[in-house]
Chain A
Amino acid sequence: MMQEGLDDGPDFLSEEDRGPRAVNVDLQTDATLQVDISDALSERDKVKFTVHTKSTLPNFKQNEFSVVRQHEEFIWLHDSFVENEEYAGFIIPPAPPRPDFDASREKLQKLGEGEGSMTKEEFTKMKQELEAEYLAIFKKTVAMHEVFLCRVAAHPVLRKDLNFHVFLEYNQDLSVRGKNKKEKLEDFFKNVVKSADGVIVSGVKDVDDFFEHEKTFLLEYHNRVKDASAKSDRMIRSHKSAADDINRIASTLYTLGTQDSTDVCKFFLKVSELFEKTRKIEARVAADEDLKLADLLKYYLRESQAAKDLLYRRGRALVDYENANKALDKARAKNKDVLQAETTQQVCCQKFEKISESAKQELIDFKTRRVAAFRKNLVELAELELKHAKGNLQLLQSCLAVLKGDT
């Protein structure tokens, strides 16, 4: 097991991640509907995901089929859930973030430009590393898109959504273009209104203790997860930088070793070899921390936001209900438009109660999922850290033994 980290392949994801990539969510794999992303292709400025479905449900024409989807179509699906009044009482699975290869692509380009200024070995090494980085980002974006689909498929109501089925089955382009400038501006204003409204709505004290607690909890939790996510990113970036330095040190030691005519050249070469191996391990440590810790925190940042959105919708419905009550009282007092007021009040009441009921369950499920995901990831993080530290230790000790034996 310890030698695993020492091969030359650019494979940054360890063996454990080859299974269902839904690492951040603990989902039961249900035979009636299984969705995964079986393949992905990265082209110039877009990624094409092959969405593969296995289902025994009668809604689908076949039991197993695949379609090709792009990021915008995932967003379309997510937005259709958000805009659907029927789903107001659910935590809408957060949309996957846009695939961002800009930084990686820029680095590869810079490398190409600087080809003349470095030795062939240095160039090949850097190219391999950048390609590995690109691959890691690629695998991550695939995982995040897959998690979104799996969450939808696991949800008792969302899995039946018509748009979802179209998304899974329709083998032509869904022709959903990204939002144009006007629509993006509309969204922006909508969000401003929503935030302002959210402040008003959240100010309303809830009679229900459970929801009052959840509101307070989620607000604080969301902010702290955001902070932890940012700090973990910074920590991991420093780790990667340190690993890069060790790489350069290894190269220079190698040159020194080949140039040196004295006894110490053996030392240089041996230590250079050692550092080549240990820095690969360090890079893997950073990559694993990224997957198990940083991605986990990022995911729960998005999910806690989705939970907050649910609470907002419920709060909004509550305010509407209370307003409808007041309106009804007024109407009765004036004896004007009473019927209309009664209907409105009924509708608001039903809406509020429906949301409340499912929201409670959703929030409980959220906690269960969260605890399970943290447990899984923290355990795996610790196990990987141990594995890598032991690997490093073994390399260091065997190198030391050789060097000490020589002096």
Chain B
Amino acid sequence: MPYKTLILCSKICDGMNAYMAYKVTTKTSLNLFNRNEFTVKRRFSDFLGLHSKLASKYLHIGYIVPPAPEKSIVGMTKVKVGKEDLSSAEFVEKRRSALERYLMRTVNHPALLKDPDVIQFLESTELPRAVSTQALSGAGILRMVNKAAEAVNKMTIKMNESDAWFEEKQQQFENLDVQLRKLHASVESLVCHRKELSVNTASFAKSAAMLGNSEDHTALSRALSQLAEVEEKIDQLHQEQAYADFYLFSELLGDYVRLITAGVFDHRMKTWSKWQDAQVMLQRKREAEAKLQYANKPDKLQQAKEEIKEWEAKVQQGERDFEQISKNIRREVGRFEKQRVKDFKVVIIKYLESLVHTQQQLIKYWEAFLPEAKAIA
């Protein structure tokens, strides 16, 4: 069913207090909302609050919940390009872009879009302040999830994987994670070197201009000044390309690495383990009841029978939970794959188009310079 929910984030400064607020504008044709277009003000902690609510509701039943935006905008490989000033325009833009992508991913999830917390986040003018953001940061959630995963691993569960699909998918995800991280690191390095190239080109341009000034042959002097101008334009070009490298390519990769580590497979293992534990418990209760049969303790026997009923129900629930989470994960992974394919295709094309533009500009600049160089007599 075709619908369009668009979210734009723009930064506004609240004069009274020293925090950054973001304008979230939603444009939609869905009936879920009261109006077709509306805008609310949100703080960074509000986003984290939303994520923590969604994570607590859906992660354990196998939904791939989009991870919260990082609190500190330093790349996964901690490649820093100069000092990250928290109030700098660049930092704010990176954050704005990350928040926007986060919301878009969230509303693109068919189940999450209908979640009342999401609707409230997008629509209501006032939002109850998120209490403590420390534990709620993206990294914080990740830590919680990872701790759970570790706990699972520590129990040395050898899950009898009856479903080859899961084994295969898990392996695929692991491989994808490794390669995406590698790619992300290389792209970050490229962004860094391109920025460096831009700075060094600007520096060379100035130097060439100085050289042109001291050159006493008129035509050569002019050509050198022209060269300086060309290099100055090229340095701008490098800057813009670095920007595209980052926003198109690098950020997407970072998002996907974080998505993959959301840990759905671990939750499934935990659910399975809970089910198995319930079965073990049931077995014990049955054995205990059998023993009590010959002990002539009617009260204890009654209690044992009740406990058996309790654990039978738990086993049934455990099995249902396991089947449900398996079903959910299958569906989620299918959706994730589709989304991933779409995202990557779109971004790759956009990125190549940015590269095309850079080359076209380069051609323009050098074509303008060539006659100047030839005019040196």
Contact = CB atoms under 8 A, between A and B. Distances in A.
Interface string A349-372: 000000000000000000100110
Contact of B352 (A220, A245, A403): A403
Contact of A382 (B211, B344, B370): B370
Nearest to A278: B355
Nearest to A261: B172
A393 B363 contact: yes
B53 interface: no
Contacts of B196: 238, 241
Contacts of A306: none
B363 A386 contact: yes
A244 B182 CA distance: 14
A68 to B, nearest CB: 39
Nearest to B360: A393
A262 B339 CA distance: 11
Nearest to B354: A396
A13 interface: no
Interface stretch (B33-41, B142-150, B187-195): B187-195
Interface in A244-273: 245-246, 248-249, 252-253, 255-256, 259-264, 267-268, 271
Contact of B337 (A241, A256, A262, A268): A262
Main secondary structure on chain A at its contact with chain B? Answer: helix
Given A227-B207, A382-B370, A385-B366, A238 B349 contact: no
A211 to B, nearest CB: 14
Contact of B204 (A234, A246, A256): A234
A239 interface: yes
B193 A238 contact: yes
Given A234-B204, A248-B186, A271-B348, A392 B359 contact: yes
Interface residues of A, number: 58
A284 B76 CA distance: 31
B179 to A, nearest CB: 5
B216 A217 contact: yes
Nearest to B242: A242
Task: Indicate the member of B186, B223, B370 with the most A CB atoms within 10 Å.
Answer: B186
Contacts, number: 161
A400 interface: yes
A385 to B, nearest CB: 5
A84 interface: no
B220 A371 contact: yes
Given A242-B193, A386-B367, A393-B360, A374 B376 contact: yes
B190 A264 contact: no
A111 interface: no
Interface string A215-235: 001001100110110011011
A390 interface: yes
Given A224-B210, A238-B196, A256-B183, A375 B376 contact: yes
B276 to A, nearest CB: 31
Contact of B214 (A217, A235, A271, A379): A217
Interface residues of B, number: 57
Given A242-B197, A396-B355, A367 B217 contact: yes
A386 B210 contact: no
B348 A225 contact: no
Given A238-B200, A249-B186, A371-B217, A378 B223 contact: yes
B197 A232 contact: no
Nearest to B210: A224
A374 B223 contact: yes
A44 to B, nearest CB: 33
Contacts of B367: 386
B166 interface: no
Contact of B359 (A252, A263, A367, A396): A396
A393 B183 CA distance: 23
B83 interface: no
Given A221-B215, A231-B203, A249-B190, A393 B359 contact: yes
Contacts of B370: 379, 382-383, 386
15 contacts: A228-B204, A235-B203, A238-B201, A239-B197, A245-B186, A246-B190, A256-B183, A267-B348, A371-B217, A371-B220, A386-B367, A396-B355, A400-B349, A400-B352, A403-B349
Given A234-B203, A241-B196, A393-B356, 12 more contacts: A228-B208, A234-B204, A235-B197, A242-B190, A245-B189, A256-B179, A256-B180, A264-B340, A264-B344, A374-B376, A375-B220, A404-B349
